[in-house]
Amino acid sequence: MKEYFLLFISAIFVNNIVLAQYLGNCPFIGTSKKISVAIGMGSAVVFVATMAASITWAVQEYLLDPLGLQYLQTLTFILVIASLVQFVEMFLKKAVPPLYKSLGIFLPLITTNCAVMGIAIICQREEFTFIKTVAFSFASGMGFMLALIVLSAIRERIEVSRTPKSMKGTPIALVMAGLMSLAFFAFKGMI
Amino acid sequence: MVLSSLFVLMGLGFTAATILAVASKILYVKEDPRIAQVEDVLPGVNCGGCGYAGCAGAANAVIDGKSGANVCVIGGIETAKAVGAVMGLEVLDMEPELAFRDCTGGERAEELFNYEGAGNCRAQALLYNGAKTCPEGCLGLGTCVAVCPFDAIHMGPDGLPIVDPLACLACRKCVEACPRGVLSIVSMSAKLLHVEEVNDCLAPCQQECPANINIPRYIEAANNGDYAGAVNIIRERNPLLLVCGRVCPRPCELVCRRTHVDEAVGINMIKRFVADWEMKNNLRLPIPCAKETGRKVAIIGGGPSGLSCAFFLRRLGHSPTIIEAMPDLGGQLRYGIPEYRLPKNDLAWEIQGILDLGVEVRTEQRLGPDFTINDLEEEGFEAFFMGIGAWASGTLRIDGEDAQGVLSGTEFLTAVGLGQTPAIGPKVIVVGGGNTAIDAARTSIRLGCDVTLLYRRTRDEMPANKEEIIAAADEGIKFVFLSAPTKVIIDDKGKATHLECTRMELGEPDESGRRRPVPVEGTEARYPVDTIISAIGQKPQLSCFYTKGEEQCSIGFTRWRTIDAHPETLQTSVPKVFAGGDAVSGPDLVISAVGAGRQAARSIHYLLTTDQIPMADNILRELIPYTLFKDVDGCKHKERSEMPHLCSGDDRTSTFKEIEGCLCEEELHHETSRCLRCGLTCYDRDIPLENIFTNRVGEKVE
């Protein structure tokens, strides 16, 4: 149990996928202007990352490893994640239209989200079991969502504060992301 | 190895494609194809200015009916037309909207926003009611500037946001950010239709003006040398600025805060200057009108209220037709106000400007004998405005008043206005103390008569304008106060030779608040006279409403024999008939008639377009108490300018040349600089400025 707890803490705080691993920066900056948007994007990432990591785990375990085709990992994962996202989009549109609507344009955006890809690959590199893969990918998605919400909260305030013109918008957001990254390094001491 | 890799990848791809193909068959959702079509015609910049997540979101909103064809704030009319084409709608010329800064009130900050840090307007409003604590005004911290995605707002030198009309795309972001409702997105029509509400930011002068002209704003424009801007601001409320610049008795100046410092700002002088500037340069500034609606409205009476109603209806896109009984338009402006106060050429120039917008005119058509409302209805008119004025004179109620040589003031002034020279003889007595009496007296003296004005109270109680009374005395008119006529003495030919009067003394105050004159027995005196002009009140001529042989009239009247109309909508007992001006209020100011004309135009517009006439609960009915200061500190004395006189001596009393001139540009700037800019700069004297901090930069407000 302790192991899973540490895995959670590590994925959310210490090895946060954006702030420590530096993955998924474009959606991180692009969708962190408003808290409501950040929550939508965050939950979409949690959902897709968990699904993608589980399926890629199976592909790796039962297809690539037995055939000795590990070098095809990146290509295969891209293919799997892209089709998965398409499938999930179709499914949600049909089955849960309100959720589909609230996720809006963020769902297709995740197709090219390297954070999701990164989470899937990390699970393979760490040689996690299936359960651990699910737990880790879910926690990493949560870490992404946390970072996104915190940044969007900060950005909403920056929006109404006086900012030098050259720093308005994305530049100040990147500076804030950098500062948040430094702050999250402090969590290293937790483990 | 290569082959197996290929097989795996192709296999995976094929499997994924198969799953997706099957899924797309099972999970197929029928989607409105117009969403894609709408998205195609949007500019595709995903700016978010429309308030939706990208162009796809905007397209969805259009299809869902949440947004109109004008959803895209940067695409303009072309994009709107393209979206309209997809939706099967025709987008006609869309009225442009702009962000507009004018403290128009709205809900209070406390009710709307949570704490968001002291450095912005919302927090400031919440914590301190603002650095400037007028309950309505702009806080000047620039939150609107920060949120504008198009850089269309910047802070002006006076700490107030300035909207750049060329950059503004009316995306509403500034409106949402402003906690005071100082910013609004308005179109021209919305400005014309707005009725002043108590939580609008209204300087006392604007509240007191019967037409609610935005006085501080036009003075500000004139001060900046933007005379065209000033004219346009006045025209939002008053199409007769040349006329009012000359004859308005200026109720606004009575409540000017400057009176607590020295004298009121010469508001009307400034109006006169900008109005004259337009006329003298023959500019005819363009007056925008909304798209034609093709709805016909009949306006009966071409006086100030009728002209105003026609002007505003035309600007709102309707097709008004003025039907006038006299040979020319203008009503009492033309036939009641003498040439020396309002030259006919100037009046004609102003009226032509209104007609040029596309107002039709029929003259010498009298309601009753020549046509009835039913006739007009058959012609296709959908609403009616009665601006028939108050042309019937009050009677003296004394013996011999039907004699030859006894005229009513309106009769006399109308004859002179028509260019006739009535044979009134050398000795004239005018009875009355109002503006009509003074006008009749001053007109008579210009016709070479010896004029005496008889009034039953004292000079202090005369209802005429003070300046007019002084000017009349200057011109040699004799006054007899506390005297009332009792009998007209006639000769054997039935012509008036003398007027018998009795001396009066003032008794207890009557219902008008003035002391009631009481006759003193045995003090009768006789004055030799050739003509007696009675100017003791006017009322509307209502007989035209009764069709022949009928006692009943479908329109209700008040007990003062004026038309009974709703005080705010001006609707009469017949729903599509509206009335305003002197016919409703009794004899009143030109500017009141102009205000009534706009009010009626608004009501007619709503009745024609929406079938109901909306009225806010909190509309301005009386002066807002907290805007009326008792004194104003920190202002230096500045002498009020004086209007130059154009003629003097014999030239003044022997011709009808205009008497009052216009300020020169230098004097105008002196006068505009006297304005305290109430409503444009808010100040609260209860909190000393040095105690007010703006937490954003930790600096004191200077």
Q: Kindly provide the ipTM of the predicted complex, given to two decimals.
A: 0.79
Q: What distances in angstroms separate CA B142 from CA B146, B179, B640, one per listed residue?
A: 6, 11, 36
Q: Nearest CB to B8: which of A63, A105, A160? A: A63
For the record, the structure tokens of A149 come out as 């919400």
Total CB pairs under 8 A between chain A and B: 78
Q: Which DSSP string corresponds to B85-147?
A: HHHT----PPPPEEEEE-----S-HHHH-----TTSHHHHHHHHS-SS--SSS---S-HHHHH
Contacts of A44 in chain B (CB under 8 A): none
Interchain CB distance below 8 Å, A79 and B13: yes
Judged by DSSP in three states, B78 sits in: helix
Residue of chain B with shortest Cα separation from A156: B116
Residue of chain B with shortest Cα separation from A93: B29
| Separation between Cα atoms, residue B15 and residue B25, nearest integer Å | 15
Q: Nearest CB to A79: which of B12, B28, B143? A: B12
Q: What pLDDT band is residue A36 in, cutting at 50, 70 and 90?
A: confident
Q: Is the pLDDT of residue A47 over 90?
A: no
Q: Nearest CB to B147: which of A69, A157, A160? A: A160
Residue B441's nearest CA partner among B455, B432, B430 is B430
**Average pLDDT value for residue range A82-106:** 79
Q: What distances in angstroms separate CA A42 from CA A4, A23, A37, A51, A109, one per listed residue?
A: 22, 14, 8, 14, 12
Q: What pLDDT band is residue B549 in, cutting at 50, 70 and 90?
A: low
**Average pLDDT value for residue range A116-145:** 93
Interchain CB distance below 8 Å, A76 and B29: no
**How many Cβ atoms sit within 10 Å of the Cβ of residue B666?**
9
CB-based contact, A166 to chain B, within 8 Å: no
Contacts of A95 in chain B (CB under 8 A): 27
What's the maximum distance between 2 C-alpha atoms anywhere in chain A? 59
Radius of gyration of chain B (CA): 32
| Separation between Cα atoms, residue B356 and residue A60, nearest integer Å | 82
Q: Is the pLDDT of residue B1 over 90?
A: no
pLDDT for the residue B128: 60
Q: What pLDDT band is residue B111 in, cutting at 50, 70 and 90?
A: very low
CB B240 within 8 A of CB B283: no
How confident is the prediction for chain B on average, in pLDDT? 84
Contacts of B20 in chain A (CB under 8 A): 83, 86-87, 90
pLDDT digits (tens, 9 = 90+) for B308-341: 999 999 999 999 999 999 999 999 999 999 999 9
Q: Is the pLDDT of residue B131 over 90?
A: no
| Separation between Cα atoms, residue B226 and residue B267, nearest integer Å | 16
pLDDT for the residue B103: 53
pLDDT for the residue A130: 94
Q: What distances in angstroms separate CA B692 from CA B179, B251, B683, B698, one per listed residue?
A: 19, 35, 12, 10
Judged by DSSP in three states, B694 sits in: strand
**Average pLDDT value for residue range B220-235:** 92
**Average pLDDT value for residue range B149-173:** 82
Q: Nearest CB to B119: which of A59, A82, A161? A: A161
Contacts of A87 in chain B (CB under 8 A): 19-20, 23
Residue A10 is given by DSSP the state: I
Question: Which of A158-162, B242-246, B487-491 comes out lowest in average pLDDT?
Answer: A158-162
pLDDT for the residue B600: 96
CB-based contact, A67 to chain B, within 8 Å: yes
pLDDT for the residue B482: 92
Q: Is the pLDDT of residue B531 over 60?
A: yes
| Separation between Cα atoms, residue B199 and residue B59, nearest integer Å | 37
Q: Is the pLDDT of residue B268 over 50?
A: yes
Interchain CB distance below 8 Å, A63 and B12: yes
Reduced to 3 DSSP states, what percent helix, strand and coil does chain B have, rounded to the nearest 5? 35, 15, 50
pLDDT for the residue A171: 92
| Separation between Cα atoms, residue B670 and residue B472, nearest integer Å | 29
What backbone phi and psi angles, to 5 degrees, belong to B74? -105, -15
Judged by DSSP in three states, B399 sits in: strand
Q: What pLDDT band is residue B694 in, cutting at 50, 70 and 90?
A: very low
pLDDT digits (tens, 9 = 90+) for B627-667: 787 777 667 788 999 988 888 777 788 888 888 889 999 99
pLDDT for the residue B180: 76
Q: Is the pLDDT of residue B440 over 60?
A: yes
Q: Is the pLDDT of residue A126 over 60?
A: yes
- Give the closest-approach CA distance of B78 to chain A in angstroms: 26
CB A32 within 8 A of CB A100: no
Q: What pLDDT band is residue B502 in, cutting at 50, 70 and 90?
A: very high
Contacts of B120 in chain A (CB under 8 A): 160-161
- Give the closest-approach CA distance of A100 to chain B in angstroms: 12
Strand B97-101 relative to strand B153-155, pairing = unpaired
- Residue B378 is which amino acid? E
At a CB cut-off of 8 Å and minimum separation 6, what does B626 contact? B135
b vs e for B369-404, b when ≥16 Cβ sit within 10 Å of the residue's Cβ? eebebeebeeeebbbbbbbbbbbbbbebebebbebe
- Residue B557 is which amino acid? F
What backbone phi and psi angles, to 5 degrees, belong to B351? -65, -40
Contacts of A27 in chain B (CB under 8 A): none
| pTM (predicted TM-score) | 0.73
